[in-house]
Structure 1
Amino acid sequence: MAKKILIVEDEVPIARVLGAYLKKADYEVEFAHDGHQAVEKFEAFSPALVLLDVMMPGQDGWNVLAHIRKQNACPVIMITALSDVEYRLNGLHSGADDYITKPFIADEVVARVSAVLRRSSPIFESSDDMLMLGNLKVDFRAHHIFVDGEEVTLTPRDLSLLLFLLKHPNQTFSREQLIEKVWGIDFDGSDRAVDLAVKRIRKCLYGWDHAYGEIKTLRGLGYQFRVYKEDKE
């Protein structure tokens, strides 16, 4: 499946050129042309990486970056005409993964995107059948979950919820979405059932090393299985 790239750039010709090169490199592309649209597209598109212009109408790139970092660790490459070292350091200290100044060569941007994606989650190894994340091991085919080699016992409903979140790392789902996608629209319980299920799952995963990730509660939004990019000592 093609990885999704969100291009946030108010200069439409530049955005189109970047989009064409990324599509040629087999990425799926979505565009936003101001800060407010960027936030909306980020929530809806769930990109694997964001190319983010600094100077934009509405919210600037710094505000958009701050919003993204409140949500998850999605890689962000800042793009700007400002080449001052202080601007670059500000971007990196604010959570950006890389920094590109204009004018640039589109092929270089594609290469930077590929490099950042390769290193963005070195401890996250997954396939259709297996996931290894620190001391957490998940066998999707057999529906078995292990922490430190010990199998974790969950109810079928809780297990189905956890497996769904694991299959969609760093994506936020509302309680209503989780009920519909995991338990089905015929579920006749309250959305409070999702809160209780997450509480039970967290308890069962108590021994999991949370340096690698965690189930996050995003107030007013829902839940997310967050994967951290770096190993925490």
Structure 2
Amino acid sequence: MSPSDGAPTDSREVQLLIAEDDPDVGDGLENRFSRKGYDVDRTTDGEDALREITTLPPYDLVLLNVRLPEKDGFEVLREARRAGVDSPVILLTSKDEHRHKIRGFNLGADDYVTKPFDVKELEARVQAVLDRSAPSTPDTDDVYSFGTVTVNFPEETVTRDGERVEFTSLEFDLLGYFVAHRGRTVSRERLLRDVWGISGDIATRTVDRHVASLRKKIEPTPGDPTYLETVYGVGYKFVEKESPESPASSEED
């Protein structure tokens, strides 16, 4: 079955958590995705959902209803991201207001689907999120460029406008981590764990300071970042877009 048919992206079963208290919706989704080859777990309240989401190994994807008993989906998502969980999350809700969507994305949601939804559209969105979240760790011979910046991973060098930019080892590791996880929100706690090798309930201002230093070296305007975006209340996200410094951006239509 091809990816466009809604099947998992590889031969390994995708670990899917469905957090939905409506039995009709929950049963329907569980049956549908199980038939598609997903390994599906179910939960019906927010407390259990948070417990499941923060259990290792992490889920490949979470379908999270906003209106859950005990703890709503927004709070579940907020606490999961603060705990360093970066599993992709699609919010399911009957609320179609713009402010609710913005709130969900600011908390680190990967997509937002309004009820009632077409199940085939949901399957397509699930597949799209899985495709975007697939690991993209640079190969050993990778040279990655964005805007006027070029990163040579095997040589551990960075140039901007053709000029060498000096990076500390930690700054280079941090940039490499953002590039490997480009397009995904990464929490400060996750950065401390994966880049610094630190875990536990500790202050995260050190991440912010290093990100500020990194922005000075890669951003056209560090105070208004183009690539390394802040996801307020969660962490950061490296995005690929045309640099304002590049020639293409100055061309007239």
Q: TM-score, normalised by structure 2?
A: 0.53
Distance 1:194 1:212, change over 3 A: closer
Per the TM alignment, residue 8 of structure 1 is displaced from its structure 2 partner at its CA by: 2.4
Per the TM alignment, residue 39 of structure 1 is displaced from its structure 2 partner at its CA by: 4.5
2:113 aligned to which of 99, 103, 107: 99
Q: Deviations over 1:28-63 (max 9, x none)?
A: 766553224445555667767642213211222354
CA distance in structure 2 between the partners assigned to 1:127 and 1:4 by the alignment: 21
Tell me the residue number matched to 2:227: 212
Distance 1:192 1:230, change over 3 A: closer
Report the secondary structure of 1:58's partner residue: coil
CA distance in structure 2 between the partners assigned to 1:43 and 1:18 by the alignment: 22
**Contact kept? 1:10, 1:56, Cα under 8 Å:** yes
Tell me the residue number matched to 1:7: 18
Q: How does 1:1-233 map to 2 (within 5 A)?
A: 6-11=17-22, 14-15=25-26, 18-19=29-30, 21-22=32-33, 32-39=43-50, 50-64=62-76, 77-80=90-93, 82=94, 87-90=95-98, 91-95=100-104, 97-102=111-116, 106-115=119-128, 128-129=138-139, 130=142, 131-133=144-146, 136-148=149-161, 150-168=163-181, 169-174=184-189, 177-178=192-193, 181-182=194-195, 197-207=210-220, 210-214=225-229, 224-227=235-238
Identity %: 30
Unaligned runs of 5+ in 2: 1-8, 106-110, 199-203, 245-253
Tell me the residue number matched to 1:188: none
Per the TM alignment, residue 159 of structure 1 is displaced from its structure 2 partner at its CA by: 1.6
CA distance in structure 1 between the partners assigned to 2:19 and 2:102 by the alignment: 20
The residue type paired with residue 162 of structure 1 is L
Q: Number of matched residues? A: 212
Report the secondary structure of 2:68's partner residue: coil
Report the secondary structure of 2:96's partner residue: helix
Say what the alpha-carbon RMSD is for the aligned residues: 5.1
Distance 1:146 1:110, change over 3 A: farther
CA distance in structure 1 between the partners assigned to 2:161 and 2:47 by the alignment: 43
